[in-house]
Amino acid sequence: MTVGKSYNDQTRTYQLDSQNLCTVTEEKDLGVLIDNDLQFENHILSKIKTANRITGLVRRNFKNIDFPGFLLLYKSMIRSHLEYAQTVWSPHKVKLIEALEKVQKRATKILPGLRHLSYSQRLQKLHLPTLVYRRARGDMIEVFKILHGYYDPEGVPIPETKFTHKHKRQ
């Protein structure tokens, strides 16, 4: 797979030990489907499909679930699919952001006492933030870790800024 402006250039061939390598447009690595234009749309749609399928499973099998039971199932079985490796594939298209949020909107309607409430009211009752908020928070945590030297500098080089000179960890 070639990533970049000329990824559609079919004249390029790559070899490994004099064997031509196949050209692909997508590749799965560590559970993330990476496409050649780095849009991650197929990955996100796949995760939405999986999370919706699990939401249906929870709805069918737990008719009279209470709040703590729902939160345990939601966080471990549904939200985990929507957040795995999100710092890599975080969406920037509004339609994908809304599609991800729609999964949580649908899942929070499972509880009988919350169906009539608005989405924001359901989140408030369940003490859940939006997925948009969680992605932004996750990004901020990653930036903090990078800038404060919590990662190996060989793997994650620290960008030189005024901030890093003042607060560089030893």
54: left (phi over 0), alpha (psi -120 to 50) or beta: alpha
Does residue 112 lie in a domain region? yes
Count of the separate structural domains present in the chain: 1
Tokens of 110: 């499972």
Does residue 3 lie in a domain region? no
**Segment 78-118, tens digit of pLDDT:** 999 999 999 899 999 999 999 999 999 999 999 988 999 99
Does residue 101 lie in a domain region? yes
Q: Which of 2-11, 70-79, 116-125 has the lowest mean pLDDT?
A: 2-11
Q: Report pTM.
A: 0.80
Looking at residue 127, its pLDDT comes to 97
Q: Categorize the per-residue pLDDT at 163 as very low, low, confident or very high, splitting at 50, 70 and 90.
A: low
Does residue 4 lie in a domain region? no
For 2-26, letters b (16+ CB in 10 Å) and e give: eeeeebeeeeeeeeeeeeeeeeeee
Instruction: Residue 112: give the domain boundaries.
Output: 15-167
Residue type, 81: H
Does residue 30 lie in a domain region? yes
Does residue 34 lie in a domain region? yes
Q: Which residues on neighbouring strands pair with residue 32, listed in sequence order?
A: 29
Does residue 47 lie in a domain region? yes
Q: In sequence order, which residues have a C-beta less than 8 Å from that of residue 123 and are 6 or more positions away?
A: 104, 108, 129, 130
Does residue 10 lie in a domain region? no
